[in-house]
Amino acid sequence: MAPVPLTQVHLSEPHFRPENTRQDRFSLSRLLVWFLFFFYFSGVHQTIIYSSGIAGFFGITQALVMSLLWLVPVMLFPARGKLIAGIVGVVLWATSLFSMGYLALYRQDFSQSVIFIIFESNWAESSEFLHSYFAWWMVPALAIYTLIPWLIWRRLQPIGGTPLIRLPLTLAICLAVCWPMLDRVIIKKDSLANGFHKQADSMEPVAPWQLVMGYVKYRQALSHAESRLLASDKPPLDGLVDNNADTPNTLVLVIGESTNARRMGIYGYYRDTTPRLAAMSDELLVFDQVYASRPYTVESLVQALSFADQLQPNLHLEKPTLIDVMKQAGYRTYWITNQQTQTHRNTLITTFSKQADEQIYLNNNRSQNSAQYDEVVFGPFEDLLKKAEAKKFILVHLIGTHRAYHYRYPDTFKIFDDDKDLPPWVRKKRHRREYNEFDNSIVYHDFVVASLIEQINKSGQNGYLVYFADHGEEVYDYPHRLFAGRDEAAPTPAMYSVPFLVWRSESWKRNNRIDVSYETTRRMYSLSDFLHTWVDLAGIRFIGFDPGKSIISPQYTTGPVLIGDPAKPEALVDVRQKFFPATATVATPATNMRGPGPVPKALQPIPPAYGQEHRAVTGTAPVVDQWMRHP
């Protein structure tokens, strides 16, 4: 066959297409489509935050710059660019769901504190959280959020250009992305470590670095805390004296979980959710105005079980903890927990438990299911009461009323299951169900706490038992806000108001007399000061003990009851100002803490906003609180 003249060859035939076609030329428009694909997973989140007024423009700026990073492998390996983009896209999509989900539920940005809480939670807690908050609209929202980047990915075309074009552009992108570190190290002559920190701070608002950097910081903080908490060279407290050193004592601390005091009958709630505790109320000191400093377990208990507080949140790493104090006073210390530990899972609270002489972990399953009720602590508690040690300190950590609430009680405690006496604003079927389930979990919790009191009472041992919850829980408590859970950025009294009860044996009362009046039990008190109340009850004194921070002391001093994230000191606020502004006639600055000398006017006692007599006189209690007491 004769050869075909070149003039008769069509350029559309692939074997004869010249190498330098339009597809092989560098295209800025195609490059922008690739960038849009990577920017989407952080840009949508940051744009919503900025347009909602939640935060400034910094997040969008960092998303624009740091999203350039993913163009580097695409330009270095153009033949595999679409595959690389697909793999990176899946990672960015999965990690961005955390921040987008948090924004959708709480209308707040994803903070470092939230990231720490995520890593402190186990899979069982996470699955229960998803189950509790799942709503139908999440399915189409997720579908739309996923569909958009998939459509962009399908339109990706080769960027084109020769290596001589792509390489300088790649270097320019690397320079832009790494500029925060380069500026700190080269221009400002700072250390390489500080340069890395600056780079990490700049990358944090962008997926997946929010979780990556958050996890690195979490592991560093946890490792440092474990090394300090379990250190053998911690200095003991100076001048420690135990006024009950010559008597055998059994002191018990019971810690509940996610229990709002205002939903307990013993605190005036209209439903009888605490029949057993109410029946023994004559034997109890019931403190009415106690508030957690943080609405999260780890953050709250770190302060309650140490000298740390809202203004000095790291003192648990520098000074002895409550367990250290008890060991120094000569007590054998025990920690019983029904919190899900996932085979002794290493979190900060688990590290606290390791300070005790003996630990009893009862919930090592990977699922916090209904088979692991809190009554499982009764047997080990009874065994410890029978031990021959003269001085015992027993801490019992319950799972309490942690959501999902229906997992927290057996069917025999399903007391509330209809709509007869629900608040009028609780209308949706799901809300009615959760409202009843939470109250049922409190009924069972009442049974557990009362049973522990009965056990130590029957043992005839000299001592006392203190019970409080780590934080509260909001479960559709307010008509203007149909919400269940906790959100530090949008606090309510339900999230912070906690039960605080004290039982004392008759022998302990005789040997350790304290004057607790009605007014004493109505003192406003922060759980972050609990260590001082505990040692005051125990008769332990040392240099640094502050009777002004003991709720039972005649020298108790009313100070700010601060809530908020101590990492943001400007956001700390007194509960009086936040929840009961009608009673807070004088501002209480967070920096004006108790000290020597007369109590400042701003810190003078303010009448409690929940007392029956106060409500009758001033009428300042919220309408919702009147409903909770009087249906």
Is the pLDDT confidence value at 619 over 60?
Answer: no
Q: Which residues pair with 290 in a beta bridge?
A: 525
C-alpha–C-alpha distance, residues 472 and 260, integer Å = 4
Cis peptide leading into residue 404 (ω within 30°): yes
Closest CA to 463 of 500, 531, 511, 501: 511
Q: What single string gives the DSSP state of each residue in 474-491? A: EES-BTTB--EE--TTS-
Name the pLDDT band for 192 (thresholds 50, 70, 90): confident
Phi (first) and psi of residue 255, to 5 degrees: -115, 120
- Rank 19-28, 51-60, 410-419 by mean pLDDT and report only the highest: 410-419
Given a contact cutoff of 8 angstroms between Cβ atoms, the answer to whether 200 and 213 are in contact is: yes
- Rank 114-123, 214-223, 366-375, 571-580 by mean pLDDT and report only the highest: 571-580
Which amino acid is located at 487 in the chain?
Answer: D
Residue 53 CB neighbours (<10 A): 7
Given a contact cutoff of 8 angstroms between Cβ atoms, the answer to whether 75 and 126 are in contact is: no
Residues above pLDDT 90, as percent of the chain:
53
Burial (CB count <10 Å: 0-12, 13-18, 19+), residue 329: buried
Is the pLDDT confidence value at 473 over 90?
Answer: yes
Is the pLDDT confidence value at 539 over 90?
Answer: yes
Closest CA to 74 of 150, 154, 156: 156
Say what the pLDDT of residue 359 is.
92
Is the pLDDT confidence value at 218 over 50?
Answer: yes
- Residue found under tokens 């960015």: 92
C-alpha–C-alpha distance, residues 211 and 204, integer Å = 8
Is the pLDDT confidence value at 66 over 60?
Answer: yes
Q: Which two tokens stand for residue 165?
A: 């074009």
Mean pLDDT of the chain: 83
**Cβ neighbours for 579, distance < 8 A, ≥ 6 positions apart:** 491, 492, 493, 609
Domains of the chain: 22-222 (no CATH), 241-629 (3.40.720.10)
Closest CA to 577 of 594, 589, 567, 591: 589
Q: Which residues pair with 503 in a beta bridge?
A: 284, 465
CA dihedral 71, 73, 77, 80 (to 10 degrees): -80
Closest CA to 239 of 319, 122, 329: 329
C-alpha–C-alpha distance, residues 265 and 279, integer Å = 11
Query: pLDDT tens digit string along 117-174?
Result: 565 565 555 555 566 666 778 789 889 999 999 999 999 998 888 888 889 999 999 9
Give the distance, in angstroms, between the CA of residue 36 and the centroid of all CA atoms in the same chain.
Answer: 34
The conformation of residue 343, written as its DSSP 8-state character, comes to: T
Is the pLDDT confidence value at 620 over 60?
Answer: no
Give the distance, in angstroms, between the CA of residue 471 and the centroid of all CA atoms in the same chain.
Answer: 10
Q: Which two tokens stand for residue 407?
A: 């997992």
Name the pLDDT band for 597 (thresholds 50, 70, 90): very low
The count of C-alpha atoms lying within 13 angstroms of the C-alpha of 57, restricted to the half-sphere facing its C-beta, is: 1
Say what the pLDDT of residue 561 is.
95
C-alpha–C-alpha distance, residues 157 and 539, integer Å = 76
Given a contact cutoff of 8 angstroms between Cβ atoms, the answer to whether 110 and 121 are in contact is: no
Closest CA to 260 of 435, 451, 102: 435
CA quadruple 598, 599, 601, 607: dihedral sign: negative
Is the pLDDT confidence value at 61 over 80?
Answer: yes
C-alpha–C-alpha distance, residues 107 and 288, integer Å = 32
Name the pLDDT band for 335 (thresholds 50, 70, 90): very high
Q: Which two tokens stand for residue 597?
A: 């000398």
Give the distance, in angstroms, between the CA of residue 284 and the centroid of all CA atoms in the same chain.
Answer: 30
C-alpha–C-alpha distance, residues 36 and 152, integer Å = 8
Report the SS3 class of residue 305.
coil
Which pairing describes strands 463-469 and 284-287: parallel, antiparallel, or unpaired?
unpaired
Say what the pLDDT of residue 413 is.
96
- For residue 255, the surrounding DSSP H or E stretch is strand 249-256
**Cβ neighbours for 196, distance < 8 A, ≥ 6 positions apart:** 181
C-alpha–C-alpha distance, residues 97 and 101, integer Å = 6
**Cβ neighbours for 627, distance < 8 A, ≥ 6 positions apart:** 270, 423
Residue 621 CB neighbours (<10 A): 21
**Average pLDDT in the 250-277 region?**
96
Name the pLDDT band for 582 (thresholds 50, 70, 90): low
The conformation of residue 497, written as its DSSP 8-state character, comes to: B
Beta strands in 292-447 (DSSP E): 332-337, 358-361, 391-397
C-alpha–C-alpha distance, residues 538 and 325, integer Å = 11
More confident residue, 613 or 580: 580
The 10 Å CB-count burial string (b at 16+, else e) for 347-364 is bbbbbbbebbeebbbbbe
**Average pLDDT in the 585-599 region?**
35
Say what the pLDDT of residue 345 is.
45
